[in-house]
Amino acid sequence: MDNIRGSFLGHDILREYEGIPNTPQNFENLFLIHKEFGWEENLARLVEATNNIVPSGSRYSPILQERNNIIASAEIAHTLSSSSEYLSLGETLAQVVEENRSTILDIGNIENINIRGNRIEQTITNAANFHGVEDLSYTLSIGSRVLIDIKTKILTLASSPKGYNIDKVLRSLGAGNTVFCFFFIGLDIDAQNLSTRLISILDRSILNATK
């Protein structure tokens, strides 16, 4: 095993190590300390630290009614797929994207994927990013609730948008009469083109692409 990949959050970075402040003027000394650890030692240290991680949340355990609601959400999504009111949501969001075309394309030049995605979401929702399970929520005239998560993709890059927190989505679907959708915005910076699509997370194309 010689190719371990991962990520970390800024607040997880140690501010001090063995009494040495983690500042640029000390980077060389800190790196020399790091070099003293061999590959096997570093691997063992990473495994130990990973095993010591304690979950901060609790797994969603739906009751019987919530389970029934979750199962029923598939049929609701299928029914709504031919609803003019539901389809108009995608058309309305596509219009918002078109009205903000130049702004969104400019934001697309930002290299940081999190900042880029958040800025585009804020442009579409005209609000701050609250990092909830959904970016937009609509209640249709028949009472069904449509939760929409905005996803952006630079079409010339091979990366894929992050999906969703399964516990949070199931909790939302468990409330009943609810569907969860993605609103995809594809950016072709070179061609200065945008493409959009509103689609249920239970659509076969999404299920086949979910890992």
Q: Say if 91 falls within a structural domain.
A: yes
28 & 112 share domain: no
pLDDT at residue 189 greater than cutoff 90: yes
204 & 108 share domain: yes
Q: Say if 45 falls within a structural domain.
A: yes
Q: Say if 97 falls within a structural domain.
A: yes
146 & 169 share domain: yes
Query: Which of the four pLDDT bands, split at 50, 70 and 90, describes residue 176?
Result: very high
Domain that holds residue 35: 14-51
**Among 185, 187, 181, CA closest to 164:** 181
Q: Say if 2 falls within a structural domain.
A: no
DSSP 59: -
pLDDT at residue 87 greater than cutoff 60: yes
79 & 117 share domain: yes
85 & 21 share domain: no
Radius of gyration of the chain (CA): 22
Query: Which of the four pLDDT bands, split at 50, 70 and 90, describes residue 130?
Result: very low
22 & 73 share domain: no
CB 124 within 8 A of CB 113: no
Position 175 scores a pLDDT of 95
Phi-psi category of 177—alpha, beta or left, where left has phi over 0 and alpha has psi -120 to 50? left
pLDDT at residue 200 greater than cutoff 90: yes
Q: Say if 21 falls within a structural domain.
A: yes
Position 12 scores a pLDDT of 60
More confident residue, 211 or 168: 168
State the chain's maximal CA–CA distance in angstroms.
66
Q: Say if 7 falls within a structural domain.
A: no
93 & 186 share domain: yes
122 & 77 share domain: yes
pTM value? 0.70
Q: Say if 155 falls within a structural domain.
A: yes
40 & 106 share domain: no
Q: Say if 99 falls within a structural domain.
A: yes
Task: Give the mean model confidence (pLDDT) for residues 169-194.
Answer: 95
More confident residue, 196 or 1: 196
Task: For residue 92, report the phi and psi dihedrals to the nearest 5 degrees.
Answer: -65, -45
Q: How many domains does the chain have?
A: 2
Position 95 scores a pLDDT of 95
Task: Give the mean model confidence (pLDDT) for residues 33-55.
Answer: 72
77 & 129 share domain: yes
Task: Give the mean model confidence (pLDDT) for residues 28-52.
Answer: 74
What percent of the chain lies above the pLDDT cut of 70?
88
CB 22 within 8 A of CB 16: yes
More confident residue, 186 or 165: 186
106 & 195 share domain: yes
Cα separation, 187 vs 191, in Å, equals 9
68 & 47 share domain: no
**Among 156, 63, 56, 149, CA closest to 105:** 156
